[in-house]
Amino acid sequence: MSLADSPLLTDLYQLNMMAAYRAHGMLDTAVFELFVRKLPPSRGFLMAAGLEQVVQFLEDLRFTPDDLDILRRIGGFPDTFIDDLADFRFTGDVDALPEGTVYFPDEPVIRVVAPLPQAQLVETRIINLIHFQSVVASKAARMVLAAPGKQLIDFGLRRAHGAEAGMLAARASYLAGFAGSATTLAGALYGVPVFGTMAHSFIQAHDDETQAFEHFARARPAQVVLLIDTYDTEQGARRVVTLAPRLARDGIEVKGVRLDSGDLAAHARAVRRILDDGGLRSVRILASGGLDETSLAELTRDGAPIDGYGIGTSLTTSSDAPALDCAYKLQEYAGLPRRKKSEGKATWPGRKQVWRRRGPDGRFAGDTVATLDDTAPGAPLLVPVMRAGRRLDGLPTLEAARRHAAAQLAALPPALARLEAAPYPVTIAESLRRLADSCDRRTASMPGPLQ
Amino acid sequence: MSLADSPLLTDLYQLNMMAAYRAHGMLDTAVFELFVRKLPPSRGFLMAAGLEQVVQFLEDLRFTPDDLDILRRIGGFPDTFIDDLADFRFTGDVDALPEGTVYFPDEPVIRVVAPLPQAQLVETRIINLIHFQSVVASKAARMVLAAPGKQLIDFGLRRAHGAEAGMLAARASYLAGFAGSATTLAGALYGVPVFGTMAHSFIQAHDDETQAFEHFARARPAQVVLLIDTYDTEQGARRVVTLAPRLARDGIEVKGVRLDSGDLAAHARAVRRILDDGGLRSVRILASGGLDETSLAELTRDGAPIDGYGIGTSLTTSSDAPALDCAYKLQEYAGLPRRKKSEGKATWPGRKQVWRRRGPDGRFAGDTVATLDDTAPGAPLLVPVMRAGRRLDGLPTLEAARRHAAAQLAALPPALARLEAAPYPVTIAESLRRLADSCDRRTASMPGPLQ
């Protein structure tokens, strides 16, 4: 059983609520929207990602006979409910921000319009998919901004939170502008370029560092990037200089060296000098080891002669902000707007659109969140993605989404493109405030406990 | 294709190194150990978890024809290397800390002894599995210690980092002492007890909160836990009091109410009074909403009348410490101890055992890390798990591991059981220091660049 495909990869309460909706004939159209309540302190913007996986999930969603057996064992569900699930299909409509779009709190990222039990069941996995890829794409975008022109590679599968996290992090970081990933399967599954060098264990398994370099180069002659910090970084660089002519005689080119410890800027300068003095000007220097956007920005400011970076844990766990305060909330049911009023967690009701204005320089100048039947200055951001349970033709490929993401980052106002970002203006339209008021007047008339 | 089972769920460099090892006949026995370099600032101890998934991964590891095709497309690998992979099996030995064991930096969590290419290939996924479950079990253990006697339930699938993270978090938190999870599939796959209440959308989809409660109770009469904070928490509680007798006449018992917003302690007190005054003394109060071990400790100190907690994001992302500084390092190859000496990342060489002393009260008093042929006071912690690629009989079930975890937490010295933990003494044995010295003398004689 593949975990990711099972409709039981959901909170039990979704199934409880589905059973109750069906028991009471509550099968009307529901509108849910996913949005972020507020930014983590260390983020100035977020980047939408994960939509492709949501579409695939919704298209493929089925209860297998095994799934139905499990539900029978859990107990308490009416047989008719379980029998009906055998024919379950998602038949709804989806609108969303295209992947790679920069977004802000209160802006719907995805809107699901479907019969209430369907729209309810899919809540958990939709959040699970959009949340994590948004987390990683947003983190990766900061790194891309912090190291302009550098090759960034995802090295973080090992400390990602499980298999799917590693895979989706490779995808989301590529979307946001990374050059590729070390994760082999991400190449096969998503077409993400895959990069691989060597580990310290390879050096350690040899009795002689130079011999280790030579063994690697002869076995993988097309991608010779040598890890030189296992014992002494500058000594490692000198060994590369000694070895390179011998390899060159056999047509093998040393493409790069990798530093993974110590003061990376200082080592990079020393290594660059050793390589240049040894006639290896074309050998690139890659660095890795506990990097994040802050250290990338420092290395950039410092002018460290480093051509590319491998980024692991801080990327794939988004270690400073591993989660977003996001929610998928019922905004309309049976034609009536709905609103949750819990303390500190009130939501804006109804179907919404986000309009984005641009300044004369083409950069983002401000957003307006309005009801769907309203308009606002600028261009609308949510676009149709699925109709009647089927994906629309012409959804962007990962490469197209990556180009869109690059254009979005290029259009950030300068104050947002800094690591310490300034706030961005998001206005709630008058149309939406009026809808919320009318919604509140209706629930205020709800029967009290004594009626 | 299931992501989690593919041997290509690994860093490309593992395959590069395997190819180089095979090309140069480096097929001798290698010893790798996984350990943590240092604790996150907010952790006093860690809890081992994920071993069961590692054993299953190693037993099942195969290259399918599809996998081999992918490797052919990546290019550059010799055909003989790819052909050999068709017969790849993990044939090594594994020793490890039993799941649920409390551990500290420098202590090996798992030791893999296998032909070098095998032990190298599995690095990425072994770290990926052990790291994440250790992260979550360690976080969950802090929550268990902060809320003694309370029922804790994992609500965090939606913001976990992907499908597998949600599933493994349900498992790891149950192992550490949680009562169960909201994740339906975790019940089916691991036997973790599954709990489900209702969401705000269920209330919002109705025009009347009382009717929403009644609809839910009649549809799922065996598990009536009502969410009462959608509009006004105390008003919600009064509605439950009004409704309960009507349900009781039909044999339906309200088992609990859930609060999800506002000042949980204040609301719980008010709700407890309303329920008690309304004759509903047996109705339990559950709370959720952005909780972590710090807020649990405050609610415990405050004596809030809350019987159980649903914990989401802070648990499944371990939000304050989403990653550990851990490594899987070559400690011996072809009978010789090996040691990485990179700045700030030097490792202790050779095969090791951890010995733990207990005080007269039975609590942990200190650990010693020694070479495998040495002994130290106390009892050894690593035990055999696999031999020649097969799991040994009698490995602990999840329930047994959970009992072991509970006994471990009960044996923590009081200074470690606090959220602001004191340091715990881990001694590096003289035997290990001597081995490191002899290792350094050997690598110091390694040929330099001019030789």
| Mean pLDDT of all residues in B57-71 | 95
Assess if residue B451 is contained within a domain.
no
For B210, the closest of A23, A188, A447 (CB atoms) is A447
Q: What is the pLDDT of residue A68?
A: 95
Residue A24 has pLDDT above 90, yes or no: yes
| Mean pLDDT of all residues in A418-443 | 92
Q: Which residues of B touch A261 (CB under 8 A)?
A: 342-345
User: Residue B226: which H helix or E strand, with range?
Assistant: strand B224-227
- In the DSSP assignment, the letter for residue A3 is G
Beta pairing, strands A390-391 & B352-358: unpaired
Q: Same structural domain for residues A283 and A377?
A: no
Sign of CA dihedral B281, B283, B287, B292: positive
Assess if residue A51 is contained within a domain.
yes
**Calpha distance A294→A412 (Å, rounded):** 19
Residue A450 has pLDDT above 80, yes or no: no
* Interface membership of B74 toward A (CB under 8 Å): yes
Q: Which residues contact B67 (CB under 8 A, 6 or more apart)?
A: B6, B7, B8, B85
Residue A446 binned pLDDT confidence (cut-offs 50, 70, 90): low
Q: Which two tokens stand for residue A350?
A: 């109804």
> CA separation (Å) from B301 to A268, B146, B147?
53, 9, 9
The mean pLDDT of chain A is: 95
Q: Same structural domain for residues B210 and B348?
A: no
- In the DSSP assignment, the letter for residue A4 is G
* Residue written as token pair 């989404």: A401
Q: What is the pLDDT of residue B446?
A: 66
Residue B108 has pLDDT above 60, yes or no: yes
Q: Which residues of A touch B159 (CB under 8 A)?
A: 127-128, 131-132, 323-324, 326
Q: Same structural domain for residues B189 and B42?
A: no
Instruction: Encode B82-97: b = buried (16+ Cβ within 10 Å), e = exposed.
Output: beebeebebebbbbbb
Residue B311 has pLDDT above 60, yes or no: yes
* Residue written as token pair 């014992």: A231
User: Does the beta-carbon distance from A164 to B162 stay under 8 Å?
Assistant: yes
Sign of CA dihedral A166, A168, A171, A176: negative
Q: Same structural domain for residues B267 and B387?
A: no
Domain end point (choices B272, B289, B316): B316
Q: Where in the sequence is the domain holding A336, given as residue range(s)?
A: 3-136+321-444
Q: Same structural domain for residues B187 and B304?
A: yes
Percent of chain B with pLDDT over 70: 98
**Calpha distance B286→B288 (Å, rounded):** 7
* Interface membership of B402 toward A (CB under 8 Å): no
Higher confidence at residue A76 or residue B109? Answer: B109
Residue A207 has pLDDT above 50, yes or no: yes
Q: Same structural domain for residues A265 and A333?
A: no
Q: Same structural domain for residues B9 and B113?
A: yes
Beta pairing, strands B325-333 & B336-337: antiparallel
Its pTM stands at 0.97
Q: Which residues of A touch B37 (CB under 8 A)?
A: none
Of A317, A122, A118, whose CA–CA distance to B158 is shortest? A122
User: Does the beta-carbon distance from A167 to B3 stay under 8 Å?
Assistant: yes
Q: How far is CA B25 from the centre of its chain?
A: 37
Domain end point (choices A283, A316, A349): A316
- In the DSSP assignment, the letter for residue A11 is B
Region of residue B318 (phi > 0: left; psi between -120 and 50: alpha; otherwise: beta):
left
Q: Same structural domain for residues A222 and A326?
A: no
Domain end point (choices B257, B286, B316): B316
Q: What is the pLDDT of residue B447?
A: 60
* Interface membership of A15 toward B (CB under 8 Å): yes
Residue A223 has pLDDT above 90, yes or no: no
> CA separation (Å) from B310 to B182, B217, B315?
9, 20, 10
Residue B290 has pLDDT above 70, yes or no: yes
Assess if residue B450 is contained within a domain.
no
Assess if residue A426 is contained within a domain.
yes
User: Does the beta-carbon distance from A222 to B76 stay under 8 Å?
Assistant: yes
Q: Same structural domain for residues A302 and A397?
A: no
Sign of CA dihedral B404, B405, B410, B413: positive
Which of B110, B342, B442, B445 to probe by mutation at the A interface, max A CB count within 10 Å?
B342
Domain at A207, CATH number: 3.20.20.70
Beta-carbon neighbour count of residue B335 at 10 Å?
Answer: 8
Residue A451 has pLDDT above 60, yes or no: no
| Mean pLDDT of all residues in A397-418 | 97
Q: Same structural domain for residues B296 and B156?
A: yes
Q: Same structural domain for residues A192 and A298?
A: yes
Assess if residue A449 is contained within a domain.
no
Which of A130, A173, A184 to probe by mutation at the B interface, max B CB count within 10 Å?
A184
Q: What is the pLDDT of residue B451?
A: 36
User: Does the beta-carbon distance from B184 to A222 stay under 8 Å?
Assistant: no
B373: helix, strand or coil: coil
| Number of domains composing chain B | 2
For A342, the closest of B16, B187, B260 (CB atoms) is B260
**Calpha distance B14→B74 (Å, rounded):** 14
Assess if residue A451 is contained within a domain.
no
> What ipTM was assigned to the predicted interfaces of this complex?
0.96
- In the DSSP assignment, the letter for residue B11 is B
- In the DSSP assignment, the letter for residue A261 is S
Q: What is the pLDDT of residue B341?
A: 76
Residues 272-311 of chain B whose Cβ lies under 8 A from any Cβ of chain A: none
Beta pairing, strands A325-333 & A29-38: antiparallel
How does pLDDT run across B176-205, given as a tens digit for each residue? 999 999 999 999 999 999 999 899 999 999
> CA separation (Å) from A127 to A19, A141, B150, B380?
21, 20, 28, 44
**Calpha distance B342→A230 (Å, rounded):** 5
Q: What is the pLDDT of residue A416?
A: 96
Assess if residue A450 is contained within a domain.
no
3-state secondary structure labels for all residues of A131-200: HHHHHHHHHHHHHHHHCCCCEEEECCHHHCCCHHHHHHHHHHHHHCCCCEECEHHHHHHHCCCECCCCCH
How does pLDDT run across B327-358, given as a tens digit for each residue? 999 999 999 998 877 777 778 999 999 999 99
Assess if residue B141 is contained within a domain.
no
Residue A169 binned pLDDT confidence (cut-offs 50, 70, 90): very high
Angle between helices B398-410 and B123-146 (to 10 degrees): 50
Residue A448 has pLDDT above 60, yes or no: no
The mean pLDDT of chain B is: 95
Q: Same structural domain for residues B130 and B151?
A: no
Domain at A41, CATH number: 3.20.140.10
| Mean pLDDT of all residues in B364-377 | 97
Please classify residue B224 by burial: count the beta carbons closer than 10 Å to its beta carbon, then call 0-12 exposed, 13-18 middle and 19+ buried.
buried
How does pLDDT run across A137-156, given as a tens digit for each residue? 999 999 999 999 999 999 99
Q: Which two tokens stand for residue A373?
A: 């039947």
| Mean pLDDT of all residues in A198-204 | 93
